[in-house]
A and B are shown apart, each in its own frame.
Chain A
Amino acid sequence: MAIYNDKVMDHFMNPRNVGEIENPDGIGTYGSPVCGDMMQITINVDDNDVITDAKFKTFGCGSAIASSSMATEMIIGKTVDEALAVTNNEIIDELGGLPAVKIHCSVLADHAIKCAIYDYAEKNGKTYKGLEGFDPDADDDDEEAGCDGPACGTGNE
Chain B
Amino acid sequence: MRQVYMDYSATTPVKKEVLDEMVPFFTEHYGNPSSLYTIGQESKEAISKARQRVASLIGADEKEIFFTACGTESDNWALFGVTDVKKKKGNHIITTKIEHHAILHSCQFLEKHGFDVTYLDIDDQGFVDPEELKAAITDQTIMVSIMMVNNEIGTIEPIKELVKVTKEKNKDIIFHTDAVQGLGNVPIDVKDLGVDLMSMSAHKIYGPKGTGALYVRRGVRLSNYIHGGAQENKHRAGTENLAGIVGFGKAAEIAEQTLDEHIKHSSSLRDYFVQQVLEKIPDTYVNGTMEKRHPGNANITFKYIEGESILLLLDSKGIYVSTGSACSSASLTPSHVLTALGVPVEMIHGTVRFSIGDFTTKEDLDYVIGELTEIVKKLREISSVSEKKGW
The answer to whether A and B come from one shared complex is: yes
The 8 residue pairs across chains A and B that have the minimum distance between CB atoms:
A33-B346, A61-B308, A57-B384, A40-B384, A59-B383, A36-B349, A34-B345, A62-B312
Q: Could you say which of B306, B307, B313, B381 has the most chain A C-beta atoms within 10 Å of its C-beta?
A: B306
A36 CB contacts on chain B under 8 angstroms:
306, 332, 334, 349
The CA-CA distance from A40 to B313 in the complex, in Å, is 22
Contact status A38-B385, CB under 8 Å: yes
CB<8 Å pairs between A and B, sample of 18: A15-B382, A18-B381, A33-B345, A33-B346, A33-B349, A33-B385, A34-B346, A36-B332, A36-B349, A57-B384, A58-B382, A58-B383, A59-B383, A61-B306, A61-B307, A62-B309, A65-B309, A155-B389
The total number of A-B Cβ pairs within 8 Å is 61
Contact status B384-A13, CB under 8 Å: no
Q: Mark A18-41, 1 if CB is under 8 A from B, else 0.
A: 100000000001001110111110
The CA-CA distance from A125 to B229 in the complex, in Å, is 79
Q: Mark B322-358, 1 if CB is under 8 A from A, else 0.
A: 0000000011101000000000011001000000000
- B residues whose Cβ falls under 8 Å from a Cβ of A: 304-309, 312-313, 315-316, 330-332, 334, 345-346, 349, 381-385, 389, 391
Which chain A residues numbered 36 to 58 have a C-beta less than 8 Å away from chain B?
A: 36-40, 56-58
State the main secondary structure of chain A at its contact with B. Answer: mixed
Contact status A65-B346, CB under 8 Å: no
B383 CB contacts on chain A under 8 angstroms:
57-59
Residue of chain B at shortest CB distance from A69 = B382
The CA-CA distance from A82 to B331 in the complex, in Å, is 34
Contact status B384-A64, CB under 8 Å: no
The CA-CA distance from A14 to B313 in the complex, in Å, is 11
Q: Mark A83-112, 1 if CB is under 8 A from B, else 0.
A: 000000000000000000100000000000
> Does A77 touch B at the CB level, under 8 Å?
no
Residue of chain A at shortest CB distance from B303 = A33
Contact status B332-A59, CB under 8 Å: no
Contact status B308-A62, CB under 8 Å: yes
The CA-CA distance from A101 to B389 in the complex, in Å, is 29
Minimum CB–CB distance from A28 to chain B (whole Å) comes to 11
What is the interface residue range for chain A against chain B? Answer: 20 to 34
> Does A118 touch B at the CB level, under 8 Å?
no
Residue of chain B at shortest CB distance from A18 = B382
> Does A1 touch B at the CB level, under 8 Å?
yes
A59 CB contacts on chain B under 8 angstroms:
304-306, 383-385
Residue of chain B at shortest CB distance from A156 = B389
> Does A120 touch B at the CB level, under 8 Å?
no
Contact status B316-A57, CB under 8 Å: no
The CA-CA distance from A147 to B345 in the complex, in Å, is 12
The CA-CA distance from A79 to B313 in the complex, in Å, is 35
A40 CB contacts on chain B under 8 angstroms:
384
B316 is contacted by which of A13, A34, A37 (Cβ under 8 Å)? A13
Contact status A12-B312, CB under 8 Å: yes
Known: A33-B349, A101-B330. A1 touches B382 (CB 8 A): no
B315 CB contacts on chain A under 8 angstroms:
1
B305 CB contacts on chain A under 8 angstroms:
59
The CA-CA distance from A29 to B391 in the complex, in Å, is 12
Given contacts A33-B385, A58-B382, A58-B384, 4 further A-B contacts (CB under 8 A): A1-B312, A32-B346, A33-B349, A58-B383
Contact status A101-B331, CB under 8 Å: yes
A64 CB contacts on chain B under 8 angstroms:
306
The CA-CA distance from A18 to B384 in the complex, in Å, is 10
Residue of chain B at shortest CB distance from A157 = B390
Minimum CB–CB distance from A63 to chain B (whole Å) comes to 8
B308 CB contacts on chain A under 8 angstroms:
61-62
The CA-CA distance from A8 to B223 in the complex, in Å, is 50
